[in-house]
Amino acid sequence: MLALIGAAIMLIGMVLAIVTSVSAQSKAATAADLAALAAADAARGLTTGEPCQVAAHLASAHDAELTSCQRDAGGAGTVAVTTRVSTVYWLEWLQDFDLAGVGKARAGPPPIE
C-alpha cells in the first residue's frame, strides 16, 4: 500500500513538472512573438525606441527574459528575438532538469506584392 502511495506521488510530481514546462514554453513563445513584433515596429520607425530595448521591455512585462535580439543588417526592419521563461522549482529533485521555456520569433515588414 505504501509503495502504491509513493508511486502515485511520483506520478503526480511528473505530471506537474510536465504541465509547468508546457506552460513556461507557451509563455515564452507568446513573449517572443510580441517582443519581435514590437521591435520590428520600432526598427521601421512606426514606434519610438531602440528595437532591442523595446523587445526587452515587452518580454519583461510578460515575465520573460530576452536572451537574444538581432536586427537585420540590411536595415529592412526585420528583428529576430529569443526569450526564456524560468520555472518555479517546487520540488528539490526538479532542479536537475531544465524545465524553462524558450521562445523564438522573427518579425519584419509585410511583403510587398
Which residues neighbour 111 within 8 Å (Cβ) at sequence distance 6 or greater?
Answer: none
pLDDT digits (tens, 9 = 90+) for 61-75: 999 999 999 998 777
pTM: 0.82
Q: Give me the percent of the chain exceeding a pLDDT of 90.
A: 50
pLDDT digits (tens, 9 = 90+) for 20-35: 888 889 999 999 999 9
Top pLDDT among 88 and 65 is at: 65
Strands 101-107 and 65-71: unpaired
Contact 83, 67 (CB under 8 A): yes
| Per-residue cell: 48 | 519610438
In this prediction, residue 76 carries a pLDDT of 79
